[in-house]
């Protein structure tokens, strides 16, 4: 292998290792005010699992980001299908929201 190729592989290897360390959280980057605002609002998720199933996953996120509210609503499969079909008709403009 030529010297240029070796140097290029080393440089890209360092960038890949640094990127993996940053994205995994091994190297802390800190949270700016803009990042805190980025993850704010209310998110409601529908599903067929029991409502307590996602609580251990949602709590760390809501504690880390002050303005973030995560809710899980357990519904029967039939009710989800009906709600989504009504929503798709609403999005397509084929019905009004009453």
- Structure confidence at residue 81 as a pLDDT band (50, 70, 90): confident
Paired tokens of 31: 């949270």
Better pLDDT: 32 or 90: 90
- Structure confidence at residue 31 as a pLDDT band (50, 70, 90): low
Q: φ, ψ for residue 32 (rounded to 5)?
A: -85, 170
Q: What pLDDT score was predicted for residue 38?
A: 66
Transcribe 48-62 into DSSP letters.
SS-GGGSHHHHHHHH
Mean pLDDT over the full length of the chain: 80
Residue ranges covered by each domain of the chain: 1-30, 31-98
pLDDT digits (tens, 9 = 90+) for 57-71: 888 888 887 778 888
CA–CA separation, 48 and 53 (whole Å): 10
Place of tokens 């240029």: 4
Q: φ, ψ for residue 10 (rounded to 5)?
A: -65, -45
């Amino acid at each position: 292998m030529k010297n240029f190729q070796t140097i290029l592989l080393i440089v890209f290897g360092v960038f890949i290792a640094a990127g993996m360390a940053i994205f995994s959280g091994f190297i802390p980057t800190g949270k700016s005010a803009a990042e805190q605002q980025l993850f704010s609002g209310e998110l409601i998720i529908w599903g067929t699992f029991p409502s307590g199933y996602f609580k251990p996953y949602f709590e760390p996120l809501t504690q880390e980001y002050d303005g973030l509210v995560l809710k899980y609503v357990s519904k029967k499969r039939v009710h989800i299908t009906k709600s989504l079909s009504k929503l798709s008709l609403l999005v397509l403009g084929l019905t009004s929201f009453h």
